[in-house]
Amino acid sequence: MNSIFLNHLEKLPYGAEEALNRLRVNIGFCGDRCKKIIITSSTPNEGKSFVSTNLWRMLAEAGLHTVLVDADMRKSVMRSRYQMVTGGRNPPGLVHFLAGQAELDDVLYHTNINNGYLLPTSYTVMNPAILLQTDRFTGMLDSLSRVFDYVLVDTPPLNSVADGDLIASQCDGALLVVRSGVTPRTLVGASLKQLERAGCELMGVVLNRVEAKNNPYYYKYSRYGYYSDYYSSDSKEAAKK
Ligand SMILES: Nc1ncnc2c1ncn2[C@@H]1O[C@H](COP(=O)(O)OP(=O)(O)OP(=O)(O)O)[C@@H](O)[C@H]1O
Ligand SMILES: [Mg+2]
């Protein structure tokens, strides 16, 4: 298997690390049937990639065999943000696999995080929806879920393109990232309905980028506030929250 070195995994402030740790523990409480997890949001920039990468790292560090699938095939930021170093200049990734140009073993990389594996997007495309509707995508998630304890899938936002709905329909559960004080309530409600229509159970909502001063759980050493809340998939109840 090829490997990728992530050079730039930021050290999180204490409060952030603790909140993500709680998220990790709560995911464990969701049981074995939630293995393929989509991390999504209503709009761009709410923190999907941030949450998925850090959650992936924490699950792996806790000894769970975890793969992060970068399914943002329109504008993946992982490679530049984490300064990934790979053997070749353009290593094969998700697009190559879905287009039938590579096999799963060629696009799965182990990393410098113990138990942490990555399926990156190394090449972006204009219309990934076509690739996501293939049996290859469904088969890939199923194969990964047989080998790994968790398959985390980072996606584009639900509100702008169909990719998120297509991915959600193939996952066991969803984490919806909501940017505190920014994402309109109506859009959050619409996203919950979208997930429900896709037949994907809502595992929880991650309220991200909470202003430290507004966070009741604020700890004096934390620079960022986080609050994650878990509840059932009842979308009306969830939208109210
Ligand atoms: N809780 C946080 N604390 C500090 N910075 C954060 C937090 N969440 C996200 N960010 C920063 O905000 C920016 C946007 O986050 P990120 O790329 O994860 O959003 P996204 O939802 O994946 O965006 P896109 O829709 O474009 O894929 C990044 O610079 C990220 O490091
Ligand atoms: Mg992203």
Q: Where are the domains positioned within the chain?
A: 2-240
Distance 72 CA to ligand 2 centre (A): 7
What is the predicted pLDDT for the residue at 68?
96
pLDDT at 129: 94
pLDDT at 31 (0 to 100): 87
Cα–Cα distance for residue pair 77/122, rounded to 1 Å? 10
Which atom of ligand 1 is nearest the CA belonging to 77?
17
Which of 49, 79, 152 for mutating ligand 1's site (highest number of atoms within 8 Å of CB)?
49
What is the reported pLDDT for 217?
55
- Intervals of the chain under pLDDT 70: 87-89, 212-241
pLDDT at 153: 98
**What's residue 230's pLDDT?**
34
Residue 12 is given by DSSP the state: P
Protein fold of 2-240: Rossmann fold (3.40.50)
